[in-house]
A and B are shown apart, each in its own frame.
Chain A
Amino acid sequence: MSTFHLEVRVKPRPGLLDPQGKAVHHALNSLGWEGVEDVRVGKAIYIDLVADSEAAALEAADVMCRKLLANPVTEDYEVSVVGSVEGASA
């Protein structure tokens, strides 16, 4: 068993109005960043998970996303393993 450090990124689905992203976009423009063409605001969730393998950890995280962490109606998600510690006890 190892402990896997997972990063889950949840973001608004393309095409959906993201008023928060729009507000940040305008703020960046008014700071002088005229090249900013689009901003979308999502969230990142960091999970430490004990699992047999990286594949098992990713599979579990996928279920977590579908059941709780992301709303499929409005959000997309991506999961990546950002680190791991071997030999953790469950």
Chain B
Amino acid sequence: MKVAVVTFPGSNCDYDLYKAAQQVGADATFMWHRERGLDGYDAVLLPGGFSYGDYLRAGAIARMSPIMEDVVAFAGAGGPVLGICNGFQILCEAGLLPGALMRNDRLKFASHDVRLRVERTDTVFTSAYDEGQVLRVPIAHGEGNFEADTATLERLEGDGRVVFRYVTRDGEPAAESNPNGSWHNIAGITNESGNVLGMMPHPERAMEEILGSTDGVGVFASLAASLSAVSS
């Protein structure tokens, strides 16, 4: 399984993603944002960070990078694409996912563990989890407040495209478990065909006991399992 980790100027979670992919047995390669060509890759990962210093809007400049044209084509052909944090913001700006990530409603950068409920287990990134399972994964963002027009939001819920939701320890999507004001406590969504996932929390930072949680492993284990199923 060959996985491309795209690095933009200002990405800072690229090594964590690279290591996370390796941990589940992937052959991971860094790809500079100016490089072209994703032929031969089985999945593309867009890391967190502050590409282009979040100038203009988070992700707005990065999505103009040459590699993004290939990422759009790759996703269009059904290839799995995962965007985490700034990666999620870039996917929204690129139009691969609907909506936008606005400034956190409390105006503060939020950096702490959250509880996430797994809403969908039939995606290539979540098959290793149980439906309704509550994960502990860190967040670290200033702009994670998911917003879209009403029709889009209703469609996301109606089609079951919300993959992760911020919840309490008991798995309830309460106001106090919402770290940024996201509509319906949305933490991660998928595109219509289910091959593109964007999420604000960082599963790649919850891969080892020493990091406080291994709940993020499932995202990468799911991807590895689905790709090995395809190739065998």
A: residues with CB less than 8 A from B are 16-17, 19-20, 23, 68-69, 71, 73-74
Contact = CB atoms under 8 A, between A and B. Distances in A.
Contacts of A69: 56
Given A69-B56, A73-B147, A73-B149, A16 B64 contact: no
Contacts, number: 33
Interface residues of B, number: 20
A68 B62 CA distance: 11
B100 A71 contact: yes
A1 to B, nearest CB: 26
Q: Chain B binding site: helix, strand, loop or mixed by DSSP?
A: loop
Interface of B: 56-57, 60, 64, 92-93, 98-100, 102-107, 145, 147-149, 181
B64 A74 contact: no
A23 B93 CA distance: 26
Given A17-B102, A19-B105, 19 more contacts: A16-B102, A16-B147, A17-B105, A19-B103, A19-B104, A19-B107, A19-B181, A20-B103, A68-B64, A69-B56, A71-B57, A71-B60, A71-B93, A71-B100, A73-B99, A73-B100, A73-B148, A73-B149, A74-B100
